[in-house]
Structure 1
């Protein structure tokens, strides 16, 4: 209902330092609050680092060698969102080095699951990484000052060089690394005044751009291990089905095919070959047959019927304020609307892949993962090896969107790799990737508002019907009464406040599929519902949608500021060319505020031209302005694809979409003609940004389309025939 106070990052509990080989190795470990992107409690104590090799910490490492080589071992995975660049900026700013001087290593899994997800990376790293850099800088300066018999306050750092300002004497970091390693770590290292920042707050080139352009970045698909073979897989297209038969000899007859493997635990087959195309050809020749099993009856309508049935009957009361049902019963007027959202696939550019080499004395796994700890755990469980004999090599990810928060593909790869003596790389076909995905859940929401004589909300009830993703992914995070708190994002936690409120959750797990995280499950689901409903109420009251929201945001200056700014920037009150209309949405999600306005034209009911989108973002202090703008632009386009076109459907238990000819991605000519992203200056701690644009896409577009056509769009995808239903008429 209202924005909760921000919880500052906890201070460091304990840090240790050990000089090894003339190098300064600084490890930092701070506990952070648990949440959706936290699989296990973080340890409350620091970790003694035994040396440069094999060290791990869930927040940051700094390694400075005697030859002045600087290595940052980063805790989050780079999957296109720019977190490597932001993390380096945080440390480099405080340490006094240039970004080009840094070598990067991905942190291996270790105590306390470090997870990249939920737009939390910058929020959780904002203080710890700066403190890590500041502590290292303080120690290096102290070592140099001792060498010069000078005062530390007379010294400065820049480009990994310490300068004694009064005399101009200089020393590179490496020259005093060993001496700094012998010093105690300062408990509260002084941080730079933001007014003196030279990196943070200024647009920086991404540090991974060059190697990606040159083809030197190693994604999971690029891994080459000496002696490796390539496998491609097939599982029963109906979840829960079993293998009925196959033509093993036909597959083995294909030139280059080396083996046909069967995993009876999950009824999956794998054809192994010298290269991918031989494996793929062998899989076609294998012609696996399947017993469809108990889910062969499941259709899309089966799932939607189950969800709509949950709109009545028992439900968990997840949040309540005053007596909302009582106020509604006595209200001057009421308004009710039901919203429906589909199953969605992740469809990243890089399909699922993993490489594993299982030996009697060890196991290596190379993969792109958002949760390396679970990759380590499953490899240890399957091989029976101690964890110190297993190495997880984290690679760049070609699009995650929550898909790599799963680890079943690592399990599958290790299971098959156990059957062969050589390293085995598993590559899923695009068809396997789409039809065996773990999908964003389908949901049905119903909202009812009590309205005063001016059409403003006096009470609100909201029922969510759908799965609880966390119940499978991390059961300990489910509340004792069975509520998934991710569903509060953009529903309970909004920029608005209501006099009376009641949120109910009727849990319905979809049959025949596995549901999972997607680029903002709670935020993308909740915002479409809440902002669509607010817009309906504004039109019902005959009040301009921006003015209606302004009245509801009088208590929230940050939300009001982004709304006013976007209305001004988009020319909300200026006339439009004939046939065009505008829609607006306001949000607080993932720790950031944003208001957006879309300008559209609909020459036909199934044709939407997005002429312009304007977004104003208050994400607290901005680390890299260019990257924030890029994230919003990319997130909007990703979200528009899903909002307009995307829906996973089932017939006979089988997913019907199997490649990009049936899973439509917004084409270049369909993208907004213009996207303007404006950033609000702020001294607040940073919020998240990776899912913010995606969450805005569906509501702002739906509201613009409603204004263009005079009827509501309560069902996703927006171009679905279901939106022609009678309950979509304007004003409900």
Structure 2
């Protein structure tokens, strides 16, 4: 483990193998001092009512606005980019610096990155909060980071022109140098840092056209790989602060219960146990080591009060089914569906069911905190720096300038690490003990105390006209609300927009559309899960579209194309996926192809899945998945393809295997032994085809998840003639359906 000094306001460093890293003890003040003393250059970007504005570090220090500083250039030629988003495998520590480096015309070998600390200056310019989620990193930072790079480039050119006493348009920047176009003169960026004093950043730096990109659009090797391969990368579990205690927590086996009694004395007799502390939702044992802390937890013999011991999957389904007959709240209304239904040539009604799902991140929940009379510091693998900092200020009682949050690498996020529950535990324990405390959850803690992907029940009624086109679509969604807890201000007229995404903004052209939302509150806590509401609604919509195509006597792909309203970008991904997959070509008996299309997070994704169904075992083998993706301007194609490949496996695991089991008032799914994830040998061959369509950058971390489940379910229908409207497609479910067919 790498030791971290408590009481250091520092950036997390990363460098290339064989290069010296920026001092891990470099503070934010030191970071800016290099630029303010003439030993470097820094460029900042902030959002104003008139758009983004660029400032120098001197402006940042003198002004009241205090903008975020995105890049610095040091005399040793090092270009350092601040990354204000969390790196959880999605590649932002490479793609975001690429945006800066391309506009700057930097030598890529000189690029380093540091993770920005939690601070208002690093809030997302669109969201107004420092957080990572919603596939927004590129979408929200594409312009400001490019502006920062372009501004620094123009400042360096201006400095060189002034030094040579020539016009700026006679100079050009390229690969870390500024040279005169005609004379054999050049200065490196590092040399120019001492000459740039007094040069103001341009108000409107000129951005490159896509044709001028040198790095953007190229498969640049990731900057975080060397550290991760060597083991030098610091994840939350790797944090070690001198003198720290390790805490394990006894959590209730009942959802919503709190401690009633526990044997504190027995735990304190365990060698190495130092403290036993009651928390709101558990009992913590702080010890010198994790084994000692776990032994202490086991000896507590805690009892619990509260909760509902009758809660289980069956009772929850009954509550959802009852709610499906309630009127709900209007989320979207176009035309008159009643008239469309009454005059329909054909009609179809179906009910769909999807279960609660866990996040199952590779790295279980953890957090390290230290609180003294004058300082509070947190080390966390978090997606929500603003939330962590606010919680730390509240619990420590210290002002914002005395609270410091260090973001480590994340061993998977998927929305789970937006929550701050484990951070709260660490802060409380640090405050009570006066020591640095690292809280570590076991895998069982993680599974049984998650904020789960909501269960969902949906009923859809659709009508076809005489030409076989959809004339009406009535859609009712029964789903718990995430936003009511996390972002209550977004609940317009009581509708959780995440619960109805992909339906209220239906991809297809339907003249009469009626969407109703029924909010159902259960004791089961829910939170953001990769692709959020689109993870259920794409399954419902795309399965329904497949059924309607069959009802209309139409090919499923052609049926979708006929309802895309002439949208050329959507049309292109649908055609590309179907063509690359060999749609329409015959397959052997027992095999089938299924299609699905979904737009989410400003990205179009179409998928074709090829499956084989074993009628004896009920096992579905997905052999091949072909994806077509239009996410606008691609920054790094390798990262985009990796994200789609990961999303396909993530979504396929949920489609085939995953379901949170609840019984006797609690979650009984506790580990991979009873929460089955996709194995490596079950992963299909995945082909990703990038389609050039929309200009605006779209998201990529989440859009690959929604289409895979319906593509597989539709393929199973093609192979067996049996339609599935419930997930997961587990062998016993498949066998039961096959026997009925």
Deviations 1:396-429 (A, max 9, x none): 1010000011112111110111111221100101
Instruction: Tell me the residue number matched to 1:359.
Output: 372
| Superposition deviation, residue 649 in structure 1 | 1.9
Partner of 1:350: 363
TM-score normalised by the chain length of structure 2:
0.90
Q: 1:282 corresponds to which residue?
A: 296
Shift of 1:484: 1.2
Paired position in structure 2 for 1:384: 397
Among 667, 678, 685, which residue is 2:696 paired with?
A: 685
Compared CA separation, residues 698 and 445, structure 1 to 2 (3 A): same
Alpha-carbon offset, residue 719 of structure 1: 1.6
* 1:93 and 2:102 are equivalent in the alignment: yes
2:520 alignment counterpart: 508
Output the CA distance in 2 between the equivalents of 1:102 and 1:52.
Answer: 24
Q: CA deviation at 1:187?
A: 1.7
Counterpart position of 1:7 = none
5+ residue gaps in structure 1? 1-15, 34-41
Aligned match of 1:70 in 79, 85, 101? 79
* 1:170 paired residue number: 186
Structure-2 residue corresponding to 1:36: none
Deviations for 1:550-603, whole angstroms, at most 9, x for unmatched residues?
221251111111111111111112121222110000111111111110010001
Q: In the aligned structure 2, how far is the partner of 1:194 from the partner of 1:228?
A: 50
The answer (yes or no) to whether the contact 2:569–2:630 under 8 Å persists in 1 is yes
Shift of 1:288: 1.9
Q: Would the aligned equivalents of 2:722 and 2:737 in 1 still touch at CA under 8 Å? A: no
Aligned to 1:524: 535
8 Å Cα contact 1:59-1:129 kept in structure 2: no
Question: Alpha-carbon deviation of 1:722?
Answer: 5.7
Shift in Å at residue 210 of structure 1? 0.8
Task: Give the whole-Å Cα distance in 1 for the aligned partners of 2:87 and 2:679.
Answer: 25
Matched residue SS, 1:115: coil
Distance, in Å, in 1 between the alignment partners of 2:230 and 2:33 is 37
1:122 counterpart residue number:
138
Aligned to 2:550: 539
Helix, strand or coil: the match of 2:361?
Answer: coil
SS of residue in 1 equivalent to 2:351: strand
The separation in 2 between residues aligned to 1:393 and 1:296, in whole angstroms, is 40
Q: Distance in 1 between matches of 2:97 and 2:621?
A: 40
- Within the alignment, does 1:25 sit opposite 2:42 as a pair? yes
Deviation readout 1:274-306 (Å, 9 max, x if unpaired): 221221222222222222x14222111222112
Distance 1:326 1:385, change over 3 A: same
SS at match of 2:144: helix
User: What do residues 622-669 of structure 1 show as CA deviations (whole Å, max 9, x unaligned)?
Assistant: 111111111111100011111111111211111010001111111122
**SS of the counterpart of 2:499?**
helix
Distance 1:59 1:552 in 2: 45
**In structure 2, distance between residues paired with 1:85 and 1:57:** 26
Secondary structure of the 1:163 match is strand
Deviations for 1:209-246, whole angstroms, at most 9, x for unmatched residues? Answer: 11100001111111111111111112212122121222
1:676 matches 2:687:
yes
Out of 91, 107, 110, the position equivalent to 2:119 is 110
Aligned to 2:631: 619
Distance in 1 separating the partners of 2:418 and 2:58: 27
**Paired position in structure 1 for 2:503:** 491
Give yes or no for contact 2:267–2:296 (8 Å, CA) kept in 1: yes
Distance change >3 Å, CA 683–CA 324, structure 1 → 2: closer
Aligned equivalents of 2:739 and 2:381: distance in 1? Answer: 42
Matches of residues 135-174 of structure 1 in structure 2 within 5 Å? 135-174=151-190
Residues 75-110 of structure 1 show CA distances to partners (whole Å, capped at 9, x for unaligned) of 111000011111011000001113331222212223
Distance verdict in 2 for CA 1:101–1:598, change over 3 Å? same
SS in 2 for 1:694: coil
How far is 1:25 from its partner?
1.9
| Distance (Å, rounded) in 2 between the aligned partners of 1:353 and 1:47 | 38
In 1: Cα distance, 2:529 partner to 2:49 partner:
23
Greater shift in the superposed pair: 251-260 or 631-640: 251-260
Whole-Å Cα distance in 2 between the matches of residues 181 and 503 of structure 1?
Answer: 59
Within 5 Å, which residues of 2 pair with 1:562-577? 562-577=573-588
Following the alignment from structure 2 to structure 1, what is the Cα–Cα distance between the partners of residues 366 and 529?
Answer: 18
Quick one: structure 1 residues 523 and 212, their matched pair in 2 at CA, closer, same or farther if it must change by over 3 Å?
same
The 2-side partners of 1:56 and 1:347 are apart by 41
Instruction: Give the superposition deviation at 1:43.
Output: 11
Equivalent residue in structure 2 for 1:245, among 257, 261, 266: 261
Structure 1 residue 18, shift from structure 2 partner:
11
Q: CA RMSD in A?
A: 2.6
Query: For residues 574-589 of structure 1, what are the structure 2 equivalents within 5 Å?
Result: 574-589=585-600
Between the aligned partners of 1:344 and 1:208, the Cα distance in structure 2 is 30
In structure 1, the partner of 2:728 is 717
The CA distance in 2 between the partners of 1:144 and 1:287, in whole Å, is 72
1:338-373 CA distance string (max 9 Å, x none): 111110110100000000001011100000111101
Is the CA contact (8 Å cut-off) linking 2:43 and 2:56 kept in structure 1? no
Cα distance, 1:482–1:701 mapped onto 2, change above 3 Å: same
Q: Give the aligned partner of residue 440 of structure 2.
A: 427
SS in 1 for 2:234: coil
Mapped to 2, the partners of 1:542 and 1:290 lie a distance apart of 58
Q: Where in structure 2 are the equivalents of 1:47-86 lying within 5 Å?
A: 61-86=70-95
Other-structure match for 2:285: 271
Deviations 1:285-335 (A, max 9, x none): 2222222x1422211122211211122222111111111122213323211
Counterpart residue number, 2:472 = 459
Unaligned runs of 5+ in 2: 1-31, 121-127
Report how far residue 131 of structure 1 moved: 0.9
Alignment of structure 1 residues 222-261 onto 2, 5 Å: 222-261=238-277
Correspondence 1:663 to 2:680:
no
Q: Which residue of 1 aligns with 2:235?
A: 219
**Distance between the aligned counterparts of 1:514 and 1:568, measured in 2?**
42
Deviation per residue, 1:121-168 (Å, 9 max, x gap): 111111111111101111111011101112222222233322223223
Structure 2: how far apart are the matches of 1:138 and 1:46? 13
CA offset at residue 176 of structure 1?
2.7
CA contact (8 A) 1:714 1:728 kept: no
TM-score scaled by length of structure 1: 0.91
